[in-house]
Amino acid sequence: MTVIKLKSGGLWVHAPIAPTKECIELVKELGAPVEYIVLPTFAYEHKIFVGPFSRKFPKAQVWVAPRQWSWPLNLPLEFFGIFRAKILQNEDPSTPWANEIEQKVLSSPEVGIGPYVEVAFYHKQSRTLLVTDAVIYVPKNPPECINKEYLLESAKNGLAVKILSKGKKVLDEPVVDNEINRQKGWERMVLQILFLGPSNLLEPNASFAQMSQKLIVSPIVKTLVFSKVPEKASQKFRFGIGLMALQGTGNSRG
């Protein structure tokens, strides 16, 4: 979640997270009304919080990426509590924030069950690029918001590890709660998200090191999306800062 204060004095909210008490208090501390709430993608994990967040700020306009869809049922936005939403268009000069924030729509052909759609934004004054899933940054250590039980569960040599170990002997060792096992769980989590069937879950260190602590395109997104629309993927903003929308990891304010 990223918040930008516009020259109008209002706030522009990108990819809102769950409107918890802490989240709403942080937004209100900025001392300005929320004017616009933006859903930059079709993805459920970002879409699900837009409705509840907009109800906390009922005077705000909601803008959404085009070609919205959901699976297994293709439900309308109203089902998710998103009403009277306006549609974001590629390089649209008529959007209320166009003089301050540029936008580009990346829309691919259908990838499996539906199209990949994401809107990237460029805040001119700060030269900041805002993306959702097109570019990611993987921290070396697990974020505090990830429950330690999930990390330890991922550190176990379960069925996925055994299947993807290519015949190597995998021991069913007990997993104790320590920093080493939490880190192993984090590394395995990341590789399973970034790759389709990673082959190195048993010892994830080397592959994780290649993916972490830098801006990357997820291998899954690169293969399934960008390779299908290379001419669109090659378009660039001249930016100095990149912000990715990470659900549940906090927020950035600009």
Looking at the fold, whether 91 and 174 belong to one and the same domain comes out as no
Domain assignment of residue 141, yes or no: no
Residue 194 confidence (pLDDT) above 60: yes
Please enumerate, as own/partner, the contacts of 139-145 that have beta carbons within 8 Å and a separation of 24 or more: 139/212, 139/213, 140/212, 140/213, 141/183, 141/186, 142/182, 142/183, 142/185, 142/186, 142/189, 143/249, 145/248, 145/249, 145/250
Is the same domain home to 118 and 41?
yes
Q: What is the pLDDT of residue 70?
A: 87
Domains held by the chain: number: 2
Shared-domain flag, residues 207 and 221: no
Nearest CA-CA partner of 16 in 31, 29, 27, 1: 1
* Structural domain contains residue 140: no
Average pLDDT over residues 44-67: 95
Q: What is the pLDDT of residue 247?
A: 40
How many whole angstroms separate alpha carbon 166 and alpha carbon 199?
Answer: 7
Checking if the pLDDT of 246 tops 50, the result is: no
pTM: 0.79
For residue 143, being part of any structural domain is answered with no
Tell me the backbone φ, ψ of residue 193, rounded to 5 degrees.
Answer: -80, -40
- Per-residue model confidence (pLDDT) at position 67: 92
205's enclosing H/E stretch is helix 205-211
How high is the pLDDT of residue 243? 54
Residue 74 confidence class, pLDDT cut points 50, 70, 90? confident
The answer as to whether 170 is a domain residue is yes
Buried b (16+ CB within 10 A) or exposed e, 105-128: bbbbeeeeeebbbbbbbbbeeeeb
The DSSP 8-state label assigned to residue 59 in this structure reads T
CATH of the domain at 40: 3.60.15.10
Same domain, 119 and 34: yes
Q: What is the pLDDT of residues 153-169, one digit of tens each?
A: 999 988 777 777 766 77
Of the candidates 39, 5, 70, 67, the one whose C-alpha atom is nearest the C-alpha of residue 247 is 39
Let me know whether 72 and 173 are in one domain: no
Instruction: Answer whether 92's CB lies under 8 Å from 104's CB.
Output: no
Q: Is the same domain home to 55 and 154? A: no
Kindly state whether residues 126 and 204 are assigned to the same domain: no
- Please tell me the number of Cα atoms within 13 Å of 169 on its side-chain side: 2
Q: Are 52 and 170 members of one domain?
A: no
Range of the domain at 229: 2-135+217-253
Instruction: Judge if 154 and 62 occupy the same domain.
Output: no
Shared domain check, 202 and 92 = no
Q: Do 154 and 196 reside in the same domain of the chain?
A: yes
Q: Are residues 204 and 243 in the same domain?
A: no
Q: Do strands 252-253 and 241-244 pair parallel, antiparallel, or not at all (unpaired)?
A: unpaired
